[in-house]
Each structure stands twice: as structure tokens, then as C-alpha cells.
Amino acid sequence: MKLYDYKAGPNPRRVRIFLAEKGVDVPLVEVDILKREQKAPEFLAKNPIGSIPVLELDDGTCISESVAICRYFEEMYPDPPLFGQTPLEKAMIEMWLRRVELNFMVPVGMVWIHGHPLTARLVKQIPEAANQNRARVHLGYKLLNTQLATNTFIAGDDYTVVDAILLASLDFANGLVGVPYDEGLAHLKRWHDAVSARPSAQA
């Protein structure tokens, strides 16, 4: 088993954080996306979308998409449970996974694609799309801050996969993408400080 990884990418980091929370060690294979190694024919045979991360099992089966990879490890290593245990917990975690993806990570990605110098050589950028999505990112921050006003973690009182996914995404937005949250969002800042202090955040 091996995990195709890219240290600077938010999506591979999601899986690394999740694995660290599980206490599971998987060999990593670095794929340099700046050199377009993920678009090489041998990599496209593993993942035709040409994205990172990809988990390759011992029999050659390949699983892509960060949440799908995390679900695989949840089934293989159920302790600690990070996708919930009761029907309600599982539903709440799924709901917040969708909200984080659609209301936060999607607009962050659009700002990255259409508003960052590093992507300008890869796509025809639309500055209006970047500006529109910066506003959506800030709406996402407010949504998260409101949720955290009454919850220790995003999906409730326990750390879950949602927190791993959001930490990687939020650090990407705050750092490389350049859309930081207002530190006046006290509940979001409290959560960010807390999850950043966990050993898994260094994965």
C-alpha cells in the first residue's frame, strides 16, 4: 500500500491529518504537480482525472478523492471513529462535509484558479470569478463561525473527519490563496488554534 502525495497540496494534507489522527502509517510517494507528474500517462493509469491524492493498494487497486480514501481507512481502522457512530452522528458529519466542500472549498478553489499568479500560466483566468468567490469564502467563514459558537468541533463535540478536511482547506485559503479569515470571528479562531495544536496538524 502507498499514498501518492504532494506536500504543499491541501487535498493530500487532508488524508495525512486523518491518518495521523488514526495512528496509521502509510508509505508516501511524492508527486511533483509543478512538474505535471500527475498528468504523466503512468499516473493517469492510476487516476484518469490526474489529481492527488491516490491510494494504491497492494493488489493494484487505486482509490482517489481525499474523502473516499479517508472512508477506506475508517473501515479498515475503526478506532478512533472519525465518521461518527450513531445514525445521527454520521448524518451530521456528512452534512458538514458537504457544507465545507460546497460553501468553502469550492470558492477557495475558484479564487486559486482565477486569482493567483501561479495558476495564470495554466488557465485563462477570469478576475471577476476570483472576486465573486472571495466574497463567498468570507460567507463560508461566517457560517463556520456560527456553527462553532455552540460546538467544540465542526460537527459536534468530538473531533471528526470534517475537522481534518477543514483544517487543510482553511490553511490553504489563509496561506497560499491569500484569503484569510477575520480574527474577529472568535469561535472560528478558537477552533483553528485548537486543531492546529493537535499533533496531527503537523502531518
- Find the distance separating the first CA and the last CA of the chain, reported in whole Å: 18
Q: For residue 62, what pLDDT is reported?
A: 98
Helix (H) or strand (E) holding 30: strand 28-30
CA distance 136 to 157: 26
State the alpha helices, DSSP H only, in the chain. 10-22, 41-44, 66-76, 87-100, 106-115, 127-148, 161-172, 186-196
Question: 87-202: what CATH class?
Answer: mainly alpha
**Whole-angstrom distance, CA of residue 7 vs CA of residue 5:** 6
Beta bridge partners of 3: 28, 55
Per-residue pLDDT of the chain (203 residues; tens, 9 = 90+): 999 999 999 999 999 999 999 999 999 999 998 888 999 999 999 999 999 999 999 999 999 999 999 999 999 999 999 999 999 999 999 999 999 999 999 999 999 999 988 888 878 999 999 999 999 999 999 999 999 999 999 999 999 999 999 999 999 999 999 999 998 999 999 999 999 999 999 99
What does the pLDDT read at residue 119? 87
Q: If one looks up domain 2-76 in CATH, what number appears? A: 3.40.30.10
Q: What is the pLDDT of residue 116?
A: 87
Helix (H, G, I), strand (E, B) or coil at 203: coil
- The pLDDT assigned to 10 comes to 95
The whole-angstrom distance between residue 64's C-alpha and the CA centroid of its chain comes to 13
DSSP reduced 3-state for 43: helix
- If one counts every other C-beta atom within 10 angstroms of the C-beta of residue 183, the result is 9
* Dihedral pair phi/psi, residue 150, rounded to 5°: -125, 10
Phi, psi of 15 (to 5 degrees): -70, -40
Of 9, 2, 17, residue with least CA distance to 165 = 17
- Cα pseudo-dihedral 26, 167, 178, 189, rounded to 10: -150
Collapsed DSSP state (helix, strand, coil) of residue 79: coil
Can you give the residue ranges of every domain in the chain? 2-76, 87-202
Q: For 162-202, what is each residue's pLDDT tens digit?
A: 999 999 999 999 999 999 999 899 999 999 999 999 999 99
Distance separating alpha carbons of residues 21 and 77, to the nearest angstrom = 11
